[in-house]
């Protein structure tokens, strides 16, 4: 039995999304910018998907810009946002545990002369909203931070942060990287007044290569890709209609079945936490109030790569952190203040709508085998 517990890296494409993608590629293959019937047919598919994404965020469909995924969405939000506000300040506030697509964009701007303030988590892994609020001042042009951490599942206090700073600094540009939280937590832009929100398809049962950026009405950003006038001239290039059609189906699935999926995540998380209490060699790294679809653990003394490949030999697939790090030691876990032996031995388990108890039991059985095999190392 194949056991896949790496859904933060990517999810299996749901059947409706795969079918929609195939249908567009083979039947509805027109260019949405073409004026003839085939083009109009393709444009209608893009419009329908935009409406679905907007229904989740409770925004106008024109606020949704389709991109190639989270990295492009984050770069467009950060670099495009800064480019449009060059005279508004020279300070950026973010966190010390951001995804590489945010951290590297911030580091690039740092080299261009911007000051980047990185807010640190508190002991135990959570963030205090006051630290973000106090980091912002009159020179701050952009606040960019994640909704849910992709390695520990920590849920940042995004609602409190945005609400307080919107009142204190109404002109501040606020970007929320919602890639790991989109459709897993309510995200109503009428209540959460962010200017820019990034999300990605392959984290929620759509194919890789499609994502989106919410741009609040009246907020101006500059494009980072130049060409035609697609996507309100903010993302030039012929839209990937097959991927957008698949994204539409995946979004509808998560919108309509979201609570059912959330119950599955909670069950998996609780089940494994209880099991690990009986395994003294295992340490849980994720805070108790982390998002239930993520559970980060360590087996101190056994390097992540060794345990990961032992599990892989039994067709069990987990990760040692963000897929973008390609197995490198996690700087995020170090930023969270975890001891070196836990950072070196960390394993990230992440669940999907299809994760079942039998799979968790299979994982636990093989993990125990691995612990017994490497027990001499642990000692």
Place of tokens 């012929």: 238
Rounded CA separation 138/125 (Å) = 29
- Per the CB < 8 A criterion, the answer to whether 144 and 213 are in contact is no
Query: Would residue 59 show up in a list of annotated catalytic residues for this protein?
Result: no
Quote the crossing angle between the two packed helices 304-312 and 357-373, to the nearest 10°.
Answer: 120
276 contact partners, CB below 8 Å, separation of at least 6: 282, 284, 297
Write the DSSP assignment of 309-347 as a string of letters.
HHHHTTTEE-BSS-GGGTTPPPHHHHHTT--HHHHHTEE
Q: Which of 351, 366, 298 is nearest to 6 (CA)?
A: 351
- Per the CB < 8 A criterion, the answer to whether 99 and 324 are in contact is yes
- Exposed e or buried b per residue across 341-374, where buried means at least 16 C-beta atoms within 10 angstroms of its C-beta: ebbbbbbbbbbbbebeeebbebbbebbeebbeeb
CA angle 171, 163, 231 (to 5 degrees): 60
What tokens does 209 get? Answer: 């290569």
In three-state secondary structure terms, 15 is helix
| Residue 137 to residues 66, 97, 111, 220, Cα–Cα distance (Å) | 32, 21, 21, 21
Q: Which of 8, 14, 59, 324 is catalytic?
A: 324
In three-state secondary structure terms, 128 is coil
Residue 180 DSSP symbol = T
Long-range contact pairs involving 278-281 (C-beta distance under 8 Å, separation at least 24): 279/367, 279/368, 279/371, 281/371, 281/375, 281/378
φ/ψ of residue 177, rounded to 5: -85, 100
Rounded CA separation 66/73 (Å) = 8
Question: Could you list the active site residues?
Answer: 324
């Amino acid at each position: 039995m194949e056991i896949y517990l790496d859904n933060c890296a990517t999810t299996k494409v749901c059947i409706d999304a795969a079918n929609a993608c195939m249908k567009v590629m083979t039947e509805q293959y027109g260019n949405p910018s073409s004026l003839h019937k085939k083009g109009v047919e393709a444009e209608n598919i893009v419009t329908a998907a935009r409406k679905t994404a907007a229904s989740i965020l409770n925004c106008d469909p024109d606020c949704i810009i389709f991109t190639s995924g989270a990295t492009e969405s984050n770069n467009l939000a950060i670099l495009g946002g800064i480019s449009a506000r060059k005279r508004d300040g020279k300070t950026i506030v973010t966190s010390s545990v951001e995804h590489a697509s945010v951290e590297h964009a911030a580091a690039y701007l740092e080299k261009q002369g911007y000051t980047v303030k990185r807010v640190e988590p508190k002991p135990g892994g959570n963030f205090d909203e006051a630290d973000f609020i106090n980091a912002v001042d009159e020179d701050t042009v952009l606040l960019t931070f994640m909704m849910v951490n992709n390695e520990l599942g920590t849920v940042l206090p995004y609602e409190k942060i945005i609400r307080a700073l919107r009142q204190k600094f109404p002109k501040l540009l606020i970007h929320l990287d919602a890639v790991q939280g989109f459709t897993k937590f309510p995200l109503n832009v009428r209540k959460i007044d962010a200017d820019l929100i990034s999300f990605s398809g392959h984290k929620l049962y759509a194919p890789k290569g499609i994502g989106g950026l919410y741009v609040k009405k009246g907020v101006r950003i500059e494009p980072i890709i130049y060409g035609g006038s697609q996507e309100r001239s903010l993302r030039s290039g012929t839209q990937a209609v097959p991927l957008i059609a698949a994204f539409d189906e995946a979004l509808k699935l998560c919108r309509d079945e979201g609570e059912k999926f959330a119950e599955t995540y909670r069950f998996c998380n609780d089940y494994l936490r209880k099991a690990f209490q009986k395994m003294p060699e295992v340490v849980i790294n994720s805070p108790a109030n982390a998002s239930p679809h993520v559970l980060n653990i360590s087996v101190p003394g056994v390097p992540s790569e060794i345990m990961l490949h032992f599990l892989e030999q039994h067709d069990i697939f987990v990760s040692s952190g963000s897929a973008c790090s390609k197995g490198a030691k996690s700087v995020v876990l170090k930023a969270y203040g975890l001891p070196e032996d836990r950072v070196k031995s960390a394993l990230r388990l992440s669940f999907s709508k299809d994760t079942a108890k039998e799979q968790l039991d299979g994982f636990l059985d093989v993990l125990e085998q691995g612990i017994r095999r490497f027990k001499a190392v642990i000692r």
